[in-house]
Amino acid sequence: MVKYINSRQSGPQAYRLGVKAAVLGSVALLGGTLAFHELGFSRQADTAQAAEPAAPPDGFANIVAKVRPAVLSVRVIIDETRETASTDEGKSPAVSPGSASSGEHEVILGEGSGFFISADGYAVTNNHVVNHAEAVVVATGDGKSYKAKVVGTDSKTDLALIKVDGHDFPYVRFADRQPRVGDWVIAIGNPYGLGGTVTSGIVSAEGRDINANPYDNFIQIDAPINRGNSGGPAFDTDGNVIGVNTAIFTPSEGSVGIGFDIPAATVKAVVAQLKDKGYVTRGWLGIHDEPIVADIAAALDLSKARGVLVDDVEPTGPAIKAGVKPGDAITAVNGAPIDDPLDLAQKIGEMAPGTTVSLSIHRDGEAKDLNIKLGTMPVDRQPQVTAPTESRVGTPNKQDLGFVLAPANQTAGTRKPGVMVVAVDPNGQAAERGLQAGDIILEVGGKTVSNPDDVHTTLASLRNSGKAAALVRIKSGDAIRFVALPLTNI
C-alpha cells in the first residue's frame, strides 16, 4: 500500500488507486504549457458546448454508452525487486495475506485504468500504474487486448502517456472549462479488476492540496473510486473528461466518498509535453521558501500575511543571479499576487524554461521588481530534513524565549557557523514557533550571528527600535527556513 506523504498524524490517509494482484493475493497501491490537439469522440457526433451547463439528465446511460468504449483496463507486469528497490516515489508496498513471493525476486501483475485520447492509440493513465513496468497491456470494453508502450511519465503530477499501435480507436475529449463545485461527475474505471465500472456523484471541492507534491491542485469528487480506478477518467454531463482519478482519503483503503482528480487543464499541458519529448520541463527559480504567516508579516512590516519568504537560494540558480536574497518576500509574479509557496510553484512551473518573469519583492521595508530568466527545474530539488542532534548543556538564555544557545563551532561534533540551539523549553515561545534542539541560528533580523551574545544583543536592539517580532533564519538539518520570534517578553 502506498500513502501520499503528508503532515497529518491521525485520521484518514491518502492512497494511490492502483491494484496489483500476485497469484492468489494482492499488493494494494492507491494511488511548460503547450496545448494538446483538440480531442473528441471519433465514433460519436460532437456535442455542442452550451454557455451554461445543461440540466441534469434523468440518468447517465446515454453518456456512459458514448464514452465507456474509450475507457481502458491497464495491466502491467512489474518486477517487484526493481520496484521495492526504488525510492524516488516514496513507495512502501505492502503484500496482503496470500500473495506469492519467490524471495528476492517476484513478478506481479498490476491493474489500473486509462482512456484513449486520440484515434491513433494515445492513452492517459497514472505514472504510478505503469512505473517500473516490464510490459503494459490494455484491454477495451469489447474484450480486445493490445500491447502498449510507455511514451513518457511525469512523477510530479502522477501522469503517464501510453501508446497502442492501431487506428480508429474510440476516444474522448477533455473539458474546456473547470467544473464547478456541485456539478455532476461520472467516474469509469477498473476497480478491483472490474473493468468498465461506472459510478456517479458531484464535484465536492476544488484546488485541494493533499501534500503530495508542489503542484497539488486536485478536484475533489464524491463519486466512489477505489483501488484500480487509478488513471481512469471522470466525466461531466457532456461526456468530457474533467480529470484523472488518482487518490482517495480513506481509513480503510476503500471509498468513503473523498476522491481526488488531476484537473483536465493540467493533464492536457503535461500530455502535450510527454507526446512531444517523453518528459516534462518546468520553469525554475532556484529558491527554498515558506508561507508568510501573520507573525512573519509583522516582522517584515507587511500589511498582509500573503506571499512567500525566501529561506535560501540555490548557489547556481536563476534567482541568485538576478539578485534574490534570503529574507526577501515575494509578493507577485508578473503583477499577479502570490498567495503562498504552492501558488508560486504552480505559476512558475507552468512557464517554459527561458521565460523572463518579473518578481515583485519586499526587502528591508522597500518594494522592488526583479527580472529573472527562468531555468529548467532539476529532477529532484526536495530538501531532506534530518533529525536534530542531541541536546547539550549550554549557557541559559538571558531572554525569556525558551531556548539555550551555544556557538555552533564550539559545540561537540560540529564545526559550523552560527549559533546552535542546544535545548528548548517545550512550553516556551521558541518551541511554539518550531525551534528544536540541534537547529542552528544563522541570522537575526538580517544580521549574521556567531555566538549567543550576538543573538541576545540583536534581539534587544530590535525590541528597542519598536519591533514586535524578530525574523530569525535557522538551519534544521539540510533545510533552511525563517521563524518570527516575539519580542514582547525580552
Q: Which residues have a catalytic role annotated?
A: 128, 158, 230
Q: C-alpha dihedral over 196, 272, 286, 434, to 10 degrees?
A: -20
DSSP-derived letter for residue 96 is P
- Which residue in 298, 327, 331, 312 sits closest to 462, CA to CA? 298
C-alpha cell at 192: 478491483
Alpha helices in 146-291 (DSSP H): 264-277
Cell of 296: 512573519
* Residue 317 contacts residue 284 (beta carbons within 8 Å): yes
User: Which residues share a beta bridge with 481?
Assistant: 474
Q: Tell me how crowded residue 277 is: count the other CB atoms within 10 A of its CB.
A: 11
Cα dihedral 456/461/463/465 (nearest 10): -170
Phi, psi of 224 (to 5 degrees): -60, 125
In whole angstroms, what is the distance from residue 437 CA to residue 431 CA?
A: 10
- Distance, in Å, from the CA atom of 211 to the CA atom of 432, rounded to the nearest integer, reads 22
Closest to 188 in 3D by CA, of 199, 176, 180, 178: 199
Q: State the Cα–Cα distance between residues 160 and 148, nearest whole angstrom.
A: 12
Q: Strand 329-333 to strand 308-313: parallel, antiparallel, or no bridges (unpaired)?
A: antiparallel
